[in-house]
Amino acid sequence: MRRSLTIGAFLFSCAVAAPAAAQPADTAPLKKGEIRLTYLGNAGFEITDGRTVVLVDPFLTQFARWTKTGPAPDVAQDALYRPDTALINQHVKRADYILITHGHPDHALDAGLISRRTGAVIVGHETAANLARAWDVPDSSLITVLGGEDYEFGDFSLRVIPNIHSALDHKRYQNNGRGIVGVAPRGLHGPLRRKDYVEGGNLAYLLRMAGHEVLIMGSMNYLEREMEGLRPDIALVGANSQRLEIHDYTARLMRALGNPALVIASHADAYGDPNPSAAALADRKKFAQEVTAASPKSRVVQPTWFEPMIVAARP
């Protein structure tokens, strides 16, 4: 069963609880020009035109923490941080490419194992590559980028956009003393400790697929001059409250991007918490209001985990 609603000239349909006899939406064939996005939690998405499957920052392991008896303790910096293979196998059936925005564990933890299982090619900076090499991902399955590349793959193309990380620690992110910035060296062997997953720099992406242009962010920050002039119809925007450290975050971004038709909030799901705090829920609403105030014709979506969203052909 699909429920559909129109966004401007776009038809946007969400698959909801398909009856057992119906073809599940996540495997239903797509019409020409359609693109399907499925939210995997945190900054993670699966994006496909029905032929090529691109994952962004897959972090299925985040859901392992939320047990029936409450959240498990967070993994300490010195402790081993193991990807959850059961969750990965449950939710990732196929992948051709994996785009990594940066090396922190909530973005890069699962990629190596997914690549090994699916053969997916990981695109990311040197740190993302070294974290993947720790899981014996061969260089034939790695495309290391710097930011600024614009690569053609046939069925899609990918512009790699220089970016900066969220301003954590009250804007002392770069000098926070917590060991989460810096570059991961070669020669690591998984499983790694949490502290091995350093940022290694930050990237955003513009994925052009099936006539759509999808802007992909993994942090609550950006370089305005790098966003200026891009014209995505779909924008996955880092949306949690860390954005409030940045001057006029949402409006400046909407202006730079030319008011995308569809804005999907990313990295604002409270790390998989099934019972997010009242503050987190209020902030989600606030982000949607910011988008609407800056870009009244944009549709804002708070994505639901694992619920496919199908966007019709771009007019």
Q: How far apart are CA 302 and CA 143, in angstroms?
A: 31
Question: What is the size of the binding site for Zn ion (CB under 5 A)?
Answer: 1
Contacts of 77 (CB under 8 A, 6+ apart): 178, 179, 193, 194, 195
Expressed in angstroms, the distance from the first to the final Cα of the chain is 25
Of 104 and 194, CB closest to Zn ion = 104
Which residue is it, tokens 């990237």? 203
Of 15 and 180, CB closest to Zn ion = 180
Contact 206, 227 (CB under 8 A): no
Of 48 and 266, CB closest to Zn ion = 266
Of 91 and 104, CB closest to Zn ion = 104
Q: Which two tokens stand for residue 161?
A: 């956009």
Q: Which two tokens stand for residue 151?
A: 């690569």
Contact 3, 272 (CB under 8 A): no
Of 108 and 209, CB closest to Zn ion = 108
Contacts of 63 (CB under 8 A, 6+ apart): 41, 84, 87, 272
As measured in angstroms, the least distance from the Cβ of 219 to Zn ion is 6
Contact 52, 96 (CB under 8 A): yes
21, 14, 42, 85: which is closest to 219 by C-alpha?
Answer: 42
Q: Which parts of the chain fold into alpha helices (H)?
A: 85-91, 105-108, 111-118, 126-133, 224-227, 249-257, 278-294
As measured in angstroms, the least distance from the Cβ of 18 to Zn ion is 34
As measured in angstroms, the least distance from the Cβ of 203 to Zn ion is 12
* Stretch near Zn ion under the rule CB under 5 A, chosen from 99-107, 136-144, 189-197, 303-311: 99-107
Of 104 and 159, CB closest to Zn ion = 104
* Stretch near Zn ion under the rule CB under 5 A, chosen from 1-9, 96-104, 108-116, 148-156: 96-104
* Stretch near Zn ion under the rule CB under 5 A, chosen from 102-110, 150-158, 184-192, 278-286: 102-110
Of 123 and 261, CB closest to Zn ion = 123
As measured in angstroms, the least distance from the Cβ of 67 to Zn ion is 24
As measured in angstroms, the least distance from the Cβ of 156 to Zn ion is 25
Q: How far apart are CA 5 and CA 301, in angstroms?
A: 12
* Stretch near Zn ion under the rule CB under 5 A, chosen from 100-108, 120-128, 257-265, 274-282: 100-108
As measured in angstroms, the least distance from the Cβ of 199 to Zn ion is 6
As measured in angstroms, the least distance from the Cβ of 197 to Zn ion is 9
Q: Which two tokens stand for residue 134?
A: 């720790």
Q: How far apart are CA 239 and CA 283, in angstroms?
A: 9
Of 37 and 109, CB closest to Zn ion = 109
Q: Interface residues for Zn ion in 103-162 (CB under 5 A)?
A: 104
Verify binding: residue 267, Zn ion, rule CB under 5 A. no
Q: Tell me the three state secondary structure of residue 86.
A: helix
* Stretch near Zn ion under the rule CB under 5 A, chosen from 29-37, 98-106, 234-242, 272-280: 98-106
Please report, as ranges, the residues that interact with Zn ion according to CB under 5 A.
104
